[in-house]
A and B are shown apart, each in its own frame.
Chain A
Amino acid sequence: MLTRVWPRTRRVDALDATVTITNRTDAELVHACLAGDRHAFDAIVERHQRTVYRICYRFVGRHEDASDLAQDVFVRAYKGLRNFKGHASLSTWLYRIAVNVSLNHVGSKTVVAEPIAARDDTLRAGTEAPVDTVLRGERAAQVRAAIRQLPRKQRATLILRIYHDLPHEQIAGILGSSVGAVKANFFHALNNLKKALRDV
């Protein structure tokens, strides 16, 4: 009995490859990448770019800077992929690079946040009075400024906990400290934030 074999098109092959790559675990993608598969790193970028960008954005407060830093994070990760031992998850490793790159950036220059109008106005347009939008924007700017004044570890802990909802254990892995130290940093970060906002 003859079985007809349908010719596979190039498009179908590409689709299969994409599906295969996106189904792979992070560890498999790292392995494939080190074996010379460039598409594997594309998949890593695709998978983690949003979180990495958001971490950078929370530190620098400007879209342009955040996108530059996020790109830098992935370039560094690619160059240093051999150093990824798999002791922590790939996401923890990438977020650690993101935190370090961001802290180095904000430590090396004065961060100029985007004007309030460039960000928050569009979020609730049509649902609140203009005066409330302005007041909320001002308060947000004050909070951002207060967070920027926090010591490095406190700032990183607060950003990862509040804005990324990461568990203390993962934050400890990212920052290279103990869970107890993370909790202490979080406590002090909130206390200092409250004091700074009281003084405004």
Chain B
Amino acid sequence: MRHLSLAEFVDELDGRLTDERRAHLESCVRCAEQTAALRSAVTDAQHVESSEPSPLFWDHFSARVRAALRDTTPARLHWWRHPAFTIACSLVLVAAVLTGVRDSRVRRAERAPLPAPPAAAVSASEVPPADDAAWNLLTDVASTMEEEDPHAAPLAVRPAEVDRAVVDLSATERQELRRLLQNELKRSGN
């Protein structure tokens, strides 16, 4: 058996208690006594009458208020509290922040050392002549090939094949290969 809550006692005074809860109230001595005490307090308070001023007082009162307000104006909205000003300030602030971020990035980029220009992979003398069909085919394929493509296509070179290719080279070709490797080692050593 749950007793009435504070709000339910007030609902009972207002005549809004649900039937279910009123059934409890009618069977519960404690809740009934509490309700009776509250009703008694309401009656006591209601018997205190308020003295009503003379009807003439209200004309006099209006005049008093008017006189008190004679030199007063409703508080004006200060220009810095105007919504348009607030929006404008917000936009300026956002623009300033964005500009600052961009400038700092530019300055950071300017301070950073420039990457060294890539060394020429091959000297002019090493470039095969323009009418070399094999070289032209190679450069055409290389220019259209993505970085991952050699692995996707079965173009990866197996170690044994490299050894065999070196063995098959002529003396001149081997000398040229040595020169190219030495150049490459020198460049990567920098």
Contact = CB atoms under 8 A, between A and B. Distances in A.
Contact of B46 (A50, A54, A120, A162): A162
B62 A194 contact: no
A183 B77 CA distance: 37
Nearest to B51: A119
Contacts of A71: 61, 64-65, 68
A158 B64 CA distance: 29
Contacts of A70: 61
Interface stretch (B34-42, B96-104, B108-116, B136-144): B34-42
A80 B41 CA distance: 37
B53 interface: yes
A184 interface: yes
Contacts, number: 116
B54 to A, nearest CB: 10
A143 B9 CA distance: 22
A144 interface: yes
A81 B75 CA distance: 7
Interface in B174-188: none
For chain B, the bracket of interface size reads 20 to 34
A49 B76 contact: no
A186 interface: yes
A58 interface: yes
Contact of A191 (B41, B44, B45, B47): B41
A32 to B, nearest CB: 11
A83 B72 CA distance: 16
Contacts of B125: none
Contacts of A183: 6-7, 10-11
B140 to A, nearest CB: 74
Contacts of B64: 67, 71
B18 interface: no
Contact of B74 (A82, A158, A187): A82
Which of B11, B51, B66 has the most chain A CB within a 10 Å cutoff?
A: B51
B50 interface: yes
Given A54-B50, A123-B49, A143 B61 contact: no
A122 B54 CA distance: 12
A139 B47 contact: yes
Contacts of A158: 45
Contact of A184 (B6, B58, B74): B6
Which of B44, B64, B66 has the most chain A CB within a 10 Å cutoff?
A: B44
Contacts of A168: 10
6 contacts: A53-B61, A114-B51, A120-B49, A184-B6, A187-B38, A194-B40
- For the complex of A and B, 4 pairs with smallest distance between CB atoms: A190-B41, A119-B51, A187-B6, A194-B41
